[in-house]
Amino acid sequence: MLLTAARARAAVSFCVRGSILRALLRHWRRSSVAGQMRATRVTVDLDQLRHNFRVVRRLVAPASVLAVVKANAYGHGLVECAEIFRQEGAAMLGVAFVEEAIQLRQAGNPLPILVLTPPQAEEAALFCAFGVHALASSREVMEQFAAEARRRGAVVPVHIMVDTGMHREGIAPHQVLDFARWLFEQEGLQPVGIATHFATADEADPAFLWEQLRQFRAVLEQLEAAGMRFPFVHAANSAALVRFPESRFTLVRPGIVLYGYQPWQGGERLPVHPALQWRSRVVEVRRIAAGESVSYHRLYRAQRDTTIATVPVGYADGYTRRLSGRAECLIGGRRFPIVGAICMDELLVDVGDAPVQPGEEVVLLGQQGQESIWAEELACWAESIPYEVLTAIGSRVPRVYCQEEQADAAQLVHGAVAGV
């Protein structure tokens, strides 16, 4: 791991300290300006992220933690969250695509980064240039990676993906031994990890997970008998690392749990809490008479005289139309129904006779007073899952970052630079 980290630091060069400073200031400046300009914003509590990471780290020790930050860190902000996890001791970061890894490198993050989807042959130069770990699930692609690495005088760390039943990517268990032998012979490739992925870790019946785990262990035993060992052996996602300690091996891959959501709904709950809240403000209020309709297609007709509040959030921000006529929001610490069709940029709330005024805060996701709405509830209304709710929040919604553990953004930048 130390050699890998050193290689990553070399890839981002002597300018790491300055690039971290510039990138973080750029992100905070953008968030700050956008937050002042728009009534709608996402607030991310960096202290809560730290707490959530520490809960996971304590639970899985002595295994190391690969913090999954794909999809803009589940909507929370890729660069900012990755830096918090780096400070808290993450051994590695996980992204979905090499473009995300490049964004982290350009922001100065020196941690090892694993791209969790199979690479394409034409991406080999990017993996080499930015010191990124690749998932090895195709001999043909790895041949191209090895050739490009030799041409550049580089070494690409690779993790063998074993398909134990997900059937999405990976090498079949009976083919892993030959594939691994071939990988170890390739100049330009450095096999450093082996992994699998569970299909049912969050389901009540663990039978299929146990079968996947049995297959993975059999592969590991076969490789060890052949003299092949890997510093990074990983299988556990958020649900598995909580429910099945046997699946932790040397590295775990938490995702949703880092952002404060329970990875499964049974058993003991981890002491993690959501770090993200989504808020806006009322921009207009109007009285309508009984029988009048609102929004496109006149899907909602008032049963009595009532007040309608307009909120500048719509499906272009990630507040899906599937929530039309189903969801609620919080105003003044009370729940009110969102009515009519959700528009591209606006939604409407029936506040009845409540004395709601323009400028009042509206909570779409988060807590206000004694009431709260979190991603599980939004997902239920939308017939979806919390993962989709969080990752769907669009880029035009500014992210504003807050923390108390370090006094201000400048101190966080100082901490990031000092730690490199």
Residues recognised as catalytic: 70, 296
Tokens of 4: 């890998």
Helix (H, G, I), strand (E, B) or coil at 204: coil
- How far lies 394's CA from each of 218, 347, 378, in Å? 43, 16, 16
Distance CA 245, CA 372 (A): 32
Cis peptide before 62 (omega within 30 of 0): yes
Contacts of residue 189, defined as CB under 8 A and 6 or more positions apart, other chains included, come to 136, 142, 145, 146, 149, 155, 156, 158, 183
- If phi > 0 it is left, if psi is from -120 to 50 it is alpha, else beta; for residue 359 that is left
Distance CA 315, CA 27 (A): 24
SS3 content of the chain, % helix, strand, coil (to 5): 40, 20, 35
